[in-house]
Structure 1
Amino acid sequence: MSPFLGELIGTAIIIIFGGGVCANVNLKKSFAYNGGWIVITFGWGLGVAMAVYAVGKYSGAHLNPAVTFGLAFNGDFPWSKAAEYIVAQMIGAMIGAAVVFLHFLPHWKETDDPGIKLAVFSTGPAIPNYFANMLSEIIGTFVLVLGILTIGANKFTDGLNPFIVGMLIVAIGISLGGTTGYAINPARDLGPRIAHFLLPIPGKGPSNWKYAWVPVAGPLLGGALGGVFYHAVFKGDWTPSFWYVLLTCLLVLLVIWMVENKKKNV
């Protein structure tokens, strides 16, 4: 299997499990209806673990543009392959979302709220505030990439690493996920959001494109920051990339904060 196909299939697996648990818990007349946040976090975490087990030996199982960014900034992955991986991740996420749509086919008509239907596919903020939402996604993805790199630096029983990474996803969801739904993965959010826009989902509403840039930009910045932070602090190699990425994050947050405050004062 090629790395491209590995990333495509692996990301599709994540969305089948992750989007599937969101559908299971949120769509009416599912036996898991109202299963709750803990069920959702474990569904996503175990889905990530299964995906890494499936394709890790073929592509390294990035399955997330933010992880690809983080590993590239850390020096563990060549930038020349980044575009190939990200394209595969996006395609895989859209395919996974389409599978979820088909699996729950009769349940869409039974669910009236178009916002709930969108939540099966993509994230949204509990309290809409671009500055706070961006900050949440940066922090969550920073923790994700830093966690993956520190997990990789430890020796576990053979075959246990993917499960530990899955538990990292669970931990992020339980501890940090309630603010924005913890996209922490641009492909996980944008791919299914595009699928939501294209698929003939009965009674669906808009795909909330005005928010869609946050779960893309935030994770990319957070992933890059996690990669350079690990390289600088854990490896002791303080390259200019650390300061470039840190200043970029601060500048982006400053601009968003200024725009948000200007809106309040108008």
Structure 2
Amino acid sequence: MTSYLGGALGVMGGIYTAGGISGAHMNPAFSLAMCLIEQFPWWKFPIFVAVQIVGSFIAAGAVYVVYYDAIWHHSNGTLTVTGPQETASIFATYPADFVSIGNGFLDQVIGTGVLIIVVMGIMDPRNKPVPKGLEPVVVALLVLSIECSMGANCGCPLNPARDIGPRLFTYLAGWGPEVFSRGNGWWWVPLVAPLLGAAVGTYLYQLFVAFHYPEEKSEALAEQGSIVLVNTAISSADIGRSPKERDSGETEPAGYPPPQSPSSTVSPTVPITTLKES
């Protein structure tokens, strides 16, 4: 439970830190979902996945350095992947002894599908809005709930990069090739199943939720807290009109706005781009 809580809080911190720059794409499954709904360009997908894996690899290295003494003390001087003194599961996920490959694969498809469905509901401005600034907290609670309810089978990876990056680190750091052979070659399941789950979750949300929204005007989206910024090129005829006139059609008193100063260097033919709330 403690590790699940730490992971969920880590997701929250990552979103707060990088959400404004990259959209906080920490999971290839999420990146794939955004590509499928045309909110993210396909050409960026392999780049983001590569960076996500490298980031996970580096994070695993940081964990190893911080807990170096504890890892070697617990393992009694031998880095193992199985047995009571194994430490490989600190970094990557492995299925429980009673879980088959098929059951684990289905587990990850369903778990990641649920994750993507709810994340899309959180992101959808036509749905019940999350108070602005609290989206990372809600996503963290979502991750925590999935991990607590579905983590018993295989540790609930839900994220291909989060699994393969640390797995590669343990392979190189001394745990050896058994990190790929344990669990009847489990390693490929956290790579493939979450991506399939992301696709399934994306299309289920579109089919059962997004498809059923009526045509909404911008005023309705604004009432739900969604601000749409529109780039508008203003013609030379509009330069002499105030923003209020351009938006509402109302007329300002004569002499408004004041005439341009002769020293002004702005040409009336230069297109000006504004952001209009619609």
Is TM-score (shorter-chain normalized) higher than 0.5? yes
Partner of 2:167: 193
Q: Determine if the alignment matches structure 1 residue 110 to structure 2 residue 80.
A: no
Alpha-carbon shift at residue 76 of structure 1 (Å): 2.0
One-letter code aligned to 2:26: L
One-letter code aligned to 2:141: M
Between the two proteins, the alignment pairs up a number of residues equal to 198
User: Which of residues 90, 110, 119 is equivalent to 1:120?
Assistant: 90
Partner of 2:204: 229
Partner of 1:136: 107
The structure with the greater share of residues assigned to strand is 2
Conserved? CA contact 1:74–1:230, under 8 Å? no
Partner of 1:150: 121
Deviant stretches of 4+, over 6 Å: none
What is the DSSP-based 3-state SS (H/G/I as helix, E as strand, rest coil) of the residue aligned with 1:45?
Answer: helix
Partner of 1:170: 144
What is the Cα-based RMSD across aligned positions, in Å?
Answer: 1.6
Conserved? CA contact 1:123–1:181, under 8 Å? yes
Alpha-carbon shift at residue 224 of structure 1 (Å): 1.2
Alpha-carbon shift at residue 75 of structure 1 (Å): 2.5
The percentage of aligned residue pairs carrying the same residue is 31
Conserved? CA contact 1:70–1:225, under 8 Å? no
Query: Highest Rg: 1 or 2?
Result: 2
One-letter code aligned to 1:170: L
- Within a 5 Å distance, the mapping from 1:21-170 to structure 2 comes to 38-112=1-75, 114-115=80-81, 116-126=86-96, 127-153=98-124, 154-170=128-144
Please list the CA deviations of residues 209-255 of structure 1 after superposition, one character each: whole Å capped at 9, or x if unmatched. 41100111110100111112212221218xxxxxxxxxxxxxxxxxx
Partners of 1:75 and 1:232 in 2: CA distance = 16
Partners of 1:72 and 1:232 in 2: CA distance = 17
Partner of 1:260: none
Q: Is the deviation greater in 216-225 or in 68-77?
A: 68-77
Alpha-carbon shift at residue 205 of structure 1 (Å): 7.5
Alpha-carbon shift at residue 155 of structure 1 (Å): 2.2
Partner of 2:232: none
Gaps of 5+ in 2: 213-278
Partner of 2:235: none
Please list the CA deviations of residues 98-146 of structure 1 after superposition, one character each: whole Å capped at 9, or x if unmatched. 0000000111221127233110111111123011010000000001111
Partners of 1:231 and 1:62 in 2: CA distance = 21
TM-score w.r.t. structure 2 length?
0.68
What is the DSSP-based 3-state SS (H/G/I as helix, E as strand, rest coil) of the residue aligned with 2:206?
Answer: helix
Conserved? CA contact 1:185–1:219, under 8 Å? yes
Conserved? CA contact 1:114–1:205, under 8 Å? no
Conserved? CA contact 1:70–1:228, under 8 Å? no
One-letter code aligned to 1:231: Q
Conserved? CA contact 1:140–1:176, under 8 Å? yes
The structure with the greater share of residues assigned to helix is 1
Greater RCO (Cα-Cα under 8 Å, separation 6 or more): 1
